[in-house]
Structure 1
């Protein structure tokens, strides 16, 4: 396996920069900026909407609708103004390699990367919700600054354009690799990526190819009844090394271990903006 010494992007860097951007809009928002702006958890933001009493929505327009719509509009405008119009470098590089095709439907958590290798069909599956694993890492490594220690708004504004080095941070991302051959069972690898490297957790064999691929609750329940294979770390070292070379030859390597977390961050940001737009339109309707 290849281990990269640098991350293409860092959630910690993104978190700190977003905290400073939030300060210009509202100093009182600093205490929650790390969670709201860095991790961009839609469920966290949406919980505030669900917490409103039902009586506020019995009429066609509640007394809080206008304020909520204004806040959503403000947040959406901020995200759109800071959105890059260019494709991220990591994604451009991935597409240029031509090894895998990305299957990503807006509004869905699951992302798939597919390719062929000889007679084999290889499918890499991961979920955008894996970014939840980053929350504790972000909050532990980066504390929200005290606004009293930052000085005036003018001083904060001057900090906006400064290049500041922040400690890098990573988080574990689980993903799955399915390898299919005509007329053969499906080989399934459960893996975890972190710090530009990956580790194999389990290797399973599924006689029912459809069951191995389906993402339904029923298929997931059926897979739980199958033998998931031995713990990979307990295997003979030579056998483990052979499996790792087998995967690397098929494009499951350090580059893939870097790409998946980067794509999750990219997708989560796009989904957050999409979510803001949908909720705003609903409240305003």
Structure 2
């Protein structure tokens, strides 16, 4: 499956909806961490039956004005796509139902959820909206085969029956469970639609080391025993961890929130970045 920026590039170039792009990705089961925009337009032009020329003939225009013009086009495109994205308004009901408080600063590419349970346990959930990763399952397809799929318009119109459980990626998520004076358990997880998958569980006796962002704490964390990968643990132990997380509101529904909210947040950040760059070159 493609990264979010790759999906945006294909959608822009082919002039089709994200839902249709998702259909092709499902059929091809593509594996790609690509986030660049450059290679896709040529593919989409082939799909649309057009030709790609080195440069269209146009009247005299400065490189700066051309850049500003294309930035404007990109902003218009993003505004159109934003209408198809989920609104953040309905997502807050999930946060409230799970007893979390959302901490989200404008123009900052990270989000925190926090709560304190009845027994005084402090829980922090942190994620970076733009840090979505590609699905990394095995696939017989590569980017070349995916690109060829766009050359045939029927791929978008007469697709096979699709897997309803398809998801376009996962988002690395850090969970910090702290008991004041007793230490912190750090859980590395992946948020996916309808799922919160644990990858690693590590205990820190010193909560300051677990929670601090400074370089010294980071260096100290590297020397801590991290234990075996979660999937190698006894299945009963895995189930017990998931049972505890669900009891404190960390379940598949919250994973769905994290994925959906990240799409909205990342879209806002990208549009703001485009606006700032456009203003810079216009001045």
The TM-score normalised by the length of structure 1 is 0.66
Distance in structure 2 (CA, Å) of the matches to 1:192 and 1:240 = 15
Q: CA deviation at 1:129?
A: 3.2
Q: Any residues of structure 2 matched to 1:1-285 within 5 Å, and which?
A: 22-23=13-14, 44=36, 63-84=62-83, 87-88=87-88, 91-97=91-97, 99-118=99-118, 119-133=120-134, 143=147, 145-146=150-151, 149=153, 168-285=166-283
Q: CA deviation at 1:23?
A: 4.8
SS of the aligned residue for 1:278 comes to helix
Q: Is the 8 A contact 1:13 1:166 kept in 2?
A: no
More helix by share: 1
Q: CA deviation at 1:22?
A: 4.8
Name structure 2 gaps, 5 residues minimum. 26-32, 39-60
Q: CA deviation at 1:16?
A: 7.6
SS of the aligned residue for 1:115 comes to strand
Range that drifts further, 100-109 or 78-87 = 78-87
SS of the aligned residue for 1:44 comes to coil
Name structure 1 gaps, 5 residues minimum. 1-9, 35-40, 47-61, 151-158, 160-164
Distance in structure 2 (CA, Å) of the matches to 1:216 and 1:99 = 29
The TM-score normalised by the length of structure 2 is 0.67
Distance in structure 2 (CA, Å) of the matches to 1:82 and 1:209 = 42
Distance in structure 1 (CA, Å) of the matches to 2:187 and 2:11 = 41
